[in-house]
Structure 1
């Protein structure tokens, strides 16, 4: 969609430049400037395509990217971005640490005996990671054209949340839950299976017990 939008803008700029050129000699400088900007847009778009190909080639050699790709809602673009922002999963002992690292954990507003009930996320850590999680979350709660869910586990969790929370808060909870699934998948070194997040955690605990 972004590339299509860029191409449409590029063509619109060229069209405007051509119209400006035939309008009068005094607009020639504007025509030249618009053409230069249009060429820059086209050049950057071509560079993005080259970088996308390089990312895909490199990602195909990283097992963790394949693990993230196994999670419905996380595709070829989001998987390397998420992994790049998360880094080495071994730095996190548990999912709670990864949530704190991402900055999507709830902040606590407290003063004396007062404890706030409408808490916002801390927004610490990488904004790119939070943005990637947001895209993954919105994708996961969508329905496909045939009516089936992209990620039935996350979708059902989202439906339960919006019964008691605003949609924005429910989506934040989905981001949190999705990150916990990501943690379990990377820690277990096993592809995602359509089981509940609690079962994912249980799998991780069993792996840890065997390792001990």
Structure 2
């Protein structure tokens, strides 16, 4: 069993190395890694899932693609809006979730937004989803405008 775990870990490292090697050829054309707490590996995974951001006219399209848009249930005259629909890219949601957990501590924009949602009385997971949507808007902006992330002053 231990040998299997070691083998799987070595395979994961090998795949990560190959992903990073491919990203090295592309990263000069992209600005994802300028966002605090988005590593090169995360940037490569986000780029691989999204493709060209030019395909999205608005960041809300990426929000829906990632599955962070609200779930809407309709019956007769009733309409109930609940949590994220989770119909989008699981990998993109996972990567953004990991990035937001880090960013809420180290990225001043995400941290401020996350803390605002918490102070509004939102549940921790609701605040994380809101921060992920904010992160998506930042990703869309830096990629669409082809400019590195800058903390607003």
**TM-score, length-normalised on structure 1?**
0.66
Distance in 1, Cα, partners of 2:44 & 2:111? 23
Partner SS state of residue 108, structure 1: strand
The Cα offsets for residues 64-105 of structure 1, whole Å up to 9 and x where unpaired, read as 775111101211221111111111212111111111111111
Q: Which residue of 2 aligns with 1:90?
A: 54
> Where does 1:27-176 land on structure 2 (aligned, <5 Å)?
37-63=1-27, 66-116=30-80, 119-142=82-105, 150-164=106-120, 165-176=122-133
Gap change, CA 1:98 and 1:72, over 3 Å in 2: same
CA contact (8 A) 1:65 1:83 kept: no
| Higher RCO (CA 8 Å, separation ≥ 6 residues) | 2
> Which structure 1 segments of 5+ residues have no match?
1-36, 143-149, 197-212
- How far did residue 113 of structure 1 move? 3.4
> Which structure 2 segments of 5+ residues have no match?
none
Q: Which residue of 2 aligns with 1:187?
A: 144
Question: CA-atom RMSD, angstroms?
Answer: 1.9
Distance in 2, Cα, partners of 1:79 & 1:85? 10
Partner SS state of residue 91, structure 2: helix
Q: How many residues align?
A: 152
